[in-house]
Each structure stands twice: as C-alpha cells, then as structure tokens.
Amino acid sequence: MIKLFNYTLKAFFIAAICFALYTVGIIAYGTLTEYHFEDTIKLSQDAENLELLSDSTFELISWNVGFFGLGEESDFFYDGGDDVFQSTETVRKNMDGVLQLIEAHPYVDFFFLQEVDSFSWRSQKLNFFQELEGLQNSYQTHFALNYASNFVPIPIFNPLGPTFGGLFSMSKHEVKEAVRYDLRTESLWPKRLFFLKRCFLTQRISLEEKELVIINIHNSAYDTSGEKKNKEMNQLMGLAEYEFAKGNYVIIGGDWNQKPPNYLPIDASKEYLDQGFAGNEIPEQWEWISDQRTPTNRRLDIPYDAELSYTSVIDYYILSPNLQADSVAVIDVAFAYSDHQPVYLKVSIK
C-alpha cells in the first residue's frame, strides 16, 4: 500500500513538472514569436490617375464568416460547446457557402468579411484567398490580420494550434488607399500572445466631390467592464468624425460584439444585456442602422436549432450624417455557414 502511494505521488509530481515545463515553453515560444503591429499599416500601393466615381448610391454586405468552421452543425468549446475542429468537408461546405453568396450578389459594391482565416488549423489549412481567385478580378481586396498566433494552446488536450485570421474587404471600385488601424485593446501578457489584437480596416474611394471612407470592424467580445468597448469606439469615431469634418462620407460596418441601442432580445441573460451600446457613443445626427427583425448571431453552446438556440443582433452599420440608409436587411441563411448571418445595406448620398 505504501509503495502504491509512493508511485502515485511520484507520478503526480512528474506530471506536474511536465505540465509546468510545457506551460513555460508555450509562453516562451509565444513571446519570442509574438506578432507586433504598428498603429497604422498601409495595405495598398499609392494610386494615381484614379477614375472619380460618380455614383451616389452604394450597396454593401457585411458578414462574420466564423473562420469557416462554425456552421449550422457546429458548437464551440469557447461558447459552452464541445467542438474544437470541424472536418475538412464541413469547412469546405461553409467556405463554398460564403463564395456562393458573394457570387449571387454581383451588384454589391462592397463586402466586409470578418474572421477570414488563412492556413489555420481551425479552418483545416484551407486557403480562402486561393478559392476566391476566380472572383478577385472583379474586386480590389485588402486583408488585415487581427489574429496571429503561431500556436494557441487551448484547449489543453486538443489545442487550436497555428491561428491566423482577420478582416477582409472587397471593393468593386478603385481604392485610393487601404489602411489597417490597430486598436491597442489586446489583453495583458501572456494572454495577449494567444488572442486577438483588434483593428479596423479602411478603404478610401475617390468621388467626384470628396471621398467615401468605408470601415470594416470586428470589436472586442467578452468585455464585461466595457473598457475595451469604450476605447475602441473612441478611436473609431475619432477617425470617422475627422473624415466627416472634411466633407467625406463614412460607412462603418461589421461585427460589433454588442447589441445596438434599443434592442432587447427575448429571454436575454443579464450577461448579454450588459453588453450593448447605450446610444450616446456616436455624435448627434450619426445613425445606427440595423435590421432587428432577424438575428445576426447565435450562441455556440449547441449546434443550431431554430427553437432552442439563443440568438441576437450584433452585426450592423453606422452612417455619417451626409448619408441615408435606403434599406437594410439580414440575409437569412439559417446560420448554415457561420454563427453569424450576412447583413445587406443600401445607402445613398443625401
């Protein structure tokens, strides 16, 4: 009996030492390979002799594509589910669904995509940009990393591994300038080594008078204190107001990870109710534009079930006062390809 106890104790200490060494090694590796982003990164070449756009009406679609791994059949460990990875066939099905939606809307001027992966384990290393090559001749595209980790060690026994993803913007019109703006709201070390480094992506279009500035965003989630949300909104709206003051037109769209003002989902938990905009985060005459009739996001604790899944609205737009929304609608695909649904907007210059 004493021998068995000693063997058990020895095995426990060996396991504890191995785990400690593994943890130290992962943190050391993450620190040495950490990606550092400048405050602003120019993503486009200097454009000259651009044709000035005479259009006064524009159509957009924004969609968080869930790294092509969070379709209707998925739950996810970080949201209370069990799954970490989906099969290659499932990821490809989701990716094909995104591509088909883009192809089905050739008249749309701009696409804002969030959580677009590139060579990540969680998306089975499939290359979305290669799949998109057939369409890219019709668009100018820009990609801004906001998740760049050589190895994400969670969950411990089935780690996410290499994870690279970000914001992807597509424009049917010539882009004068595209820029990645870092939001500097990442977590403290060492957590920041394995989580997102938030940013927003701008594309600038030259009009006959002034410019159209379109902004693709994916703001912080799980921000119970509101500190990150407030910092991100202050920086985002600071740039937006600066552009509007110059007479430019500003459209901001994406995954806000917060409910819009005056939206009250059915049977919302207190945790969710605490994560919403009050309405005073933007200046007077700026507008929140959302379709609150159809959910844009679902919780990933279970595979999608129209009766049981908790849903909400966290994907929408903000417009500067010199623009008006002609129509906005969630494109209801029953969460077939992502835990988010695409949101369409038609907007006109006043």
pLDDT reading at 54 higher than 90 = no
Classify 297 as helix, strand or coil: strand
pLDDT reading at 268 higher than 60 = no
For residues 313 and 34, what is the distance between their CA atoms, to the nearest angstrom? 33
Q: What is the pLDDT of residue 267?
A: 56
Of 251, 219, 230, 229, which is closest to residue 321 (Cα–Cα)?
Answer: 251
CA 198 to chain centre: 9
pLDDT reading at 124 higher than 90 = yes
pLDDT reading at 17 higher than 80 = yes
Strand boundaries in the chain, DSSP class E: 40-42, 57-64, 110-117, 140-152, 161-171, 177-182, 199-206, 211-218, 249-255, 287-289, 297-298, 311-312, 315-319, 323-330, 343-349
Residue pLDDT, tens place only, 272-313: 555 788 888 999 999 999 999 999 999 999 999 999 999 999
Classify 235 as helix, strand or coil: helix
Highest mean pLDDT among 46-50, 55-59, 262-266: 55-59
**pTM for this entry:** 0.93
Can you tell me which residue has the tokens 């190895």?
Answer: 151
pLDDT greater at residue 5 or residue 303: 303
The model's confidence at residue 221, banded by pLDDT at 50, 70 and 90, is confident
pLDDT reading at 269 higher than 80 = no
Q: Which residues have a Cβ under 8 Å from the Cβ of 20 and sit 6 or more positions away?
A: none
283 upstream amide cis, omega within 30 of 0: no
What is the overall mean pLDDT for the chain? Answer: 91
Q: List the structure tokens of 38.
A: 């400048």
Question: Residue range 179-207: average pLDDT?
Answer: 93
pLDDT reading at 87 higher than 60 = yes
Classify 28 as helix, strand or coil: helix
Strand boundaries in 92-194, DSSP class E: 110-117, 140-152, 161-171, 177-182
91-108: burial string, b at 16+ Cβ within 10 Å, e else = bbbbbebbbebbeeeeeb
For residues 73 and 34, what is the distance between their CA atoms, to the nearest angstrom? 33
Query: Quick count: other Cβ atoms within 10 Å of Cβ 142?
Result: 21
Asked if 32 and 319 touch (Cβ cutoff 8 Å), the reply is no
Asked if 178 and 44 touch (Cβ cutoff 8 Å), the reply is yes
Of 250, 252, 192, which is closest to residue 219 (Cα–Cα)?
Answer: 252
Q: What is the pLDDT of residue 275?
A: 75
Q: Which residues have a Cβ under 8 Å from the Cβ of 317 and sit 6 or more positions away?
A: 60, 62, 251, 252, 253, 288, 289, 290, 325, 328, 343, 345
Question: Residue range 110-117: average pLDDT?
Answer: 97
